[in-house]
């Protein structure tokens, strides 16, 4: 056998010696009870068992697939021993029949495999125990408590046995009462999560590592706050399924991130497979300098469109977007266009020049308190600007139009929400049947909530307030919001555009609403700052809890598990004057 086949020659030698010793012991006992023909039987059986262990082991046991003394290795040992025992028994009995020594061969075949198996397994257990005792941690290692005695926790404990790792596990915590006093790799389960502060105080640890396959976001938020109060650092492992090849590494241990308390499910979307409608197409992205628009443009760029045009009214934002996508910020190439969607004639020139086939409309005014003060600005951009784009899209026969909306459009109570609901309904109007074939235009709206990391977002505000020493301002202790990361939101937008039917609103699955107070506490804990939190009260038009659907809407998910389809009520442009009269009258909750 080659070295690539047998990864540990010493282990192989020990197993062969176990078979030889088992054969010799059984032969000695049989000789003592008067079996005079045992010597040739023992020679035949011993040779066959050695050959069988070596041959079967080369395929089943000795390729370096298993860690020593694990369940997987034990199963492989069992398979190898059974096949070896059968091989040796058949050969020895066949040979013994020629010398009339079948009883001795049967006795050998009955007792030797058990002794060999016991020796092989015991040897590995003793070797593993001795190795674990010898393996030390550096004297400067930080004592830690590992929260979780499952698969991830067990892998982490094995990792912490390495001398290079700067942590030393002094105890485990697990909420399963059946694991109380369980020992893993020499480390004992000291209690459950309710006892964590007491355990931390008694052991004097400075760090707790959360090693649970998929922890509940509320658990992460609670632990972060509790450990912050206790002056202890909280670190986490990602779910084992998300770790490369399923093996925990020290690089996987990281600080708690905001996304850890979102309770998000992983998005399983094959962008390349579903976005064929973008390959070789002329694509226009409005609001391309904003957080959503720029990320949409980046993802579209990777899908090989024939051309990608970035439109925004902010030249600095266009410069940043072009730099991130193309690696330069020259601003002298056709892919960047400086224009305002309020300016219909400027837009007409753009449409005439590039003749877009797909439009992603992300340009909008979005700050709720500002739009409450200046509602006409929301009308000019979010309503009239969207209508400008829709009418030009119809005039220039744009094939797909994707209007980026917001959860605030569901039963709106704010200027922002109402303006975006009007934009959804205008988009549904533009999708109406005007084609000879009788099919609707693929004009849809995509609705989702807040995105983490967008410019001017809650996270930006909190970070600035914490850096300044506080206070951190939260509107209400019970306020919740839906959150997604920018990349996952844009990925689902592209997916939704592929499956949306004309006139629909596609509502993205945002997971569970997240407590804003939890987010504030987490950021404060991460920065190890003693920053107060002040509740300022809900602002004009602001909801305590957002909803993804209005009371009259019922979404189903016929095509994708994370995208709901809602049929929007079309709003013809000739009804906008009445809508504007209500708007200027201050009746912002009325829907025309």
Residues 169 and 306 in one domain: no
Average pLDDT of 321-339?
Answer: 87
The residue with greater pLDDT, 259 or 82, is 82
Average pLDDT of 176-199?
Answer: 87
Q: List pLDDT tens digits, range 546-571.
A: 877 777 777 778 777 888 899 889 99
Of 134, 157, 186, the last residue of a domain is: 134
Residues 161 and 215 in one domain: yes
pLDDT category at 395 given cuts 50, 70, 90 is: very high
Residues 70 and 151 in one domain: no
Q: Across 275-284, 332-341, 384-393, 566-575, which has the greatest mean pLDDT?
A: 384-393
Give start and end residues of each alpha helix (H) in 280-435.
Answer: 291-301, 315-326, 344-354, 368-373, 375-378, 386-395, 415-430
Domain assignment present for 3: no
Q: How far is CA 544 from CA 16, 456, 483, 518, in A?
A: 71, 20, 15, 15
pLDDT for residue 591 is more than 90: no
Q: List pLDDT tens digits, range 457-475.
A: 777 788 888 888 889 999 8
pLDDT for residue 397 is more than 60: yes
Whether 462 contacts 519, CB under 8 Å: yes
Cα angle, residue 274 at apex, residues 305 and 497 outer, rounded to 5° = 80
Residue 219: which residues within 8 A CB-CB, separation 6 or more?
193, 212
Residues 290 and 385 in one domain: yes
CA distance 253 to 473: 31
Distance of CA 79 to the CA centre of its chain: 37
Q: If residue 189 lies in a helix (H) or strand (E), which one and from where to where?
A: strand 187-191
pLDDT for residue 148 is more than 50: yes
Q: List pLDDT tens digits, range 351-366.
A: 999 999 999 999 999 9
Give all strands of the β-sheet with 167-173 in edge-to-edge order.
Answer: 183-184, 187-191, 167-173, 142-147, 207-210, 233-236, 254-255
The residue with greater pLDDT, 20 or 257, is 20
Residues 247 and 100 in one domain: no
pLDDT category at 590 given cuts 50, 70, 90 is: very low
Residues 366 and 490 in one domain: yes
Q: List pLDDT tens digits, range 419-433.
A: 999 999 999 999 985
DSSP string, 129-185: HHHHHH----TTPEEEEEE--SHHHHHHHHHHTSTT-SEEEEEEE-S-GGGTT-EET
Q: What is the pLDDT of residue 68?
A: 67
Q: Which of 8-22, 256-270, 441-455, 473-487 has the lowest mean pLDDT?
A: 256-270
Residues 149 and 103 in one domain: no
Model pTM?
0.65
Gyration radius from the chain CA atoms: 34
Domain assignment present for 328: yes
Whether 253 contacts 153, CB under 8 Å: no
Domain assignment present for 536: no
Domain assignment present for 327: yes
Whether 394 contacts 536, CB under 8 Å: no
Residues 506 and 384 in one domain: yes
Q: What is the pLDDT of residue 244?
A: 40
pLDDT for residue 254 is more than 50: yes
Residues 296 and 413 in one domain: yes
The residue with greater pLDDT, 434 or 393, is 393
The per-residue pLDDT of the chain, averaged, comes to 83
The CATH number that applies at residue 495 is 3.40.50.720
Domain assignment present for 398: yes
CB neighbours of residue 35 within 10 Å:
18
**Per-state percent for the chain, helix, strand, coil, to nearest 5:** 50, 15, 35
Residues 196 and 86 in one domain: no
Residues 289 and 426 in one domain: yes
Q: What is the pLDDT of residue 384?
A: 96
Domain assignment present for 17: yes
Residues 130 and 148 in one domain: no
Q: What is the pLDDT of residue 436?
A: 47
> How many separate domains does the chain show?
3
Domain assignment present for 130: yes
Determine the structural domain holding residue 313 and report its residue range: 277-450+486-510+555-584
Whether 206 contacts 143, CB under 8 Å: yes
Residue-wise burial string across 544-566, b where 16 or more C-beta atoms lie within 10 A, e elsewhere: eebebbeeebebeeeebebbbbb
Q: List pLDDT tens digits, range 40-84.
A: 888 888 888 888 888 888 888 876 666 666 667 778 888 888 988
Whether 39 contacts 27, CB under 8 Å: yes
Domain assignment present for 332: yes
Q: If residue 338 lies in a helix (H) or strand (E), which one and from where to where?
A: strand 336-338
């Amino acid at each position: 056998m080659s070295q690539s086949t047998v990864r540990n020659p010493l282990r192989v030698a020990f197993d062969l010696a176990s078979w030889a010793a088992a054969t010799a012991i059984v032969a000695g006992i049989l000789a003592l009870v008067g079996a005079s023909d045992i010597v040739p039987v023992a020679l035949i059986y011993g040779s066959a068992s050695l050959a069988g262990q070596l041959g079967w082991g080369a395929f089943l046991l000795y390729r370096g697939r298993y860690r020593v003394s694990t369940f997987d290795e034990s199963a492989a040992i069992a398979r190898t021993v059974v096949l070896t025992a059968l091989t040796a028994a058949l050969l020895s009995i066949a040979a013994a029949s020629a010398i009339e020594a079948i009883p001795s061969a049967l006795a050998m075949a009955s007792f030797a495999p058990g002794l060999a198996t016991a020796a092989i397994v015991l040897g590995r257990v003793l070797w593993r125990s001795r190795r674990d005792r010898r393996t030390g941690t550096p004297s400067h290692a930080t004592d830690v408590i590992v929260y979780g005695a499952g698969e991830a926790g067990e892998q982490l404990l094995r990792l912490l046995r390495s001398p290079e790792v700067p942590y030393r596990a002094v105890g485990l915590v697990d909420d399963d009462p059946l694991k109380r006093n369980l020992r893993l790799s020499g480390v004992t389960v000291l209690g459950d999560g309710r006892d964590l502060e007491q355990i931390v105080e008694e052991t004097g640890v400075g760090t707790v590592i959360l090693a649970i396959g998929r922890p509940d976001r509320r658990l992460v938020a609670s632990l972060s706050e509790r450990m912050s109060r206790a002056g202890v650092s909280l670190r986490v492992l990602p779910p084992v399924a998300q770790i490369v090849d399923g093996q925990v590494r020290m690089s996987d241990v990281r600080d708690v991130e905001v996304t850890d308390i979102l309770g998000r499910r992983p998005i399983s979307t094959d962008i390349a497979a579903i976005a064929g409608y973008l390959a070789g197409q002329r694509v226009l992205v409005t609001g391309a300098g904003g957080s959503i628009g720029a990320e949409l443009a980046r993802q579209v760029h990777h899908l090989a469109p024939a051309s990608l045009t970035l439109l925004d009214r902010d030249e600095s934002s266009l410069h940043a977007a072009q730099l991130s996508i193309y690696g330069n910020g020259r601003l002298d190439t056709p892919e960047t266009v400086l224009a305002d969607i309020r300016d219909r004639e400027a837009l007409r020139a753009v449409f005439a020049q590039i003749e877009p086939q797909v439009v992603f409309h992300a340009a909008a005014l979005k700050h709720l308190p500002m739009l409450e003060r200046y509602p006409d600005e929301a009308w000019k951009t979010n309503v009239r600007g969207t209508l400008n784009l829709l009418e030009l899209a119809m005039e220039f026969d744009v094939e797909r139009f994707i209007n980026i909306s917001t959860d605030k459009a569901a039963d709106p109570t704010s200027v922002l929400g109402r303006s975006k609901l009007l934009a959804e309904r205008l988009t549904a109007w533009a999708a109406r049947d005007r084609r000879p074939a009788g099919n609707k235009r693929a004009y849809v709206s995509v609705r989702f909530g807040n995105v983490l990391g967008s410019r001017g977002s809650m996270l930006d505000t909190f970070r600035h307030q914490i850096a300044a020493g506080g206070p951190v301002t939260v509107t209400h202790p019970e306020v919740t919001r839906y959150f997604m990361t920018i990349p996952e939101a844009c990925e689902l937008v592209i997916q939704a555009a592929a499956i949306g039917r004309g006139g629909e609103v596609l509502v993205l699955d945002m997971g569970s609403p997240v407590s804003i107070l939890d987010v504030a506490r987490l950021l404060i804990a991460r920065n190890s700052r003693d920053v107060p939190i002040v509740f300022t009260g809900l602002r004009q038009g602001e909801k305590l809890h957002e909803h993804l659907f209005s009371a009259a809407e019922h979404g189903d998910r016929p095509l994708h598990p994370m995208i709901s389809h809602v049929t929007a009520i079309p709003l013809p442009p000739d009804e906008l004057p009445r809508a504007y009269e209500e708007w200027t009258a201050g009746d912002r909750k009325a829907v025309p």
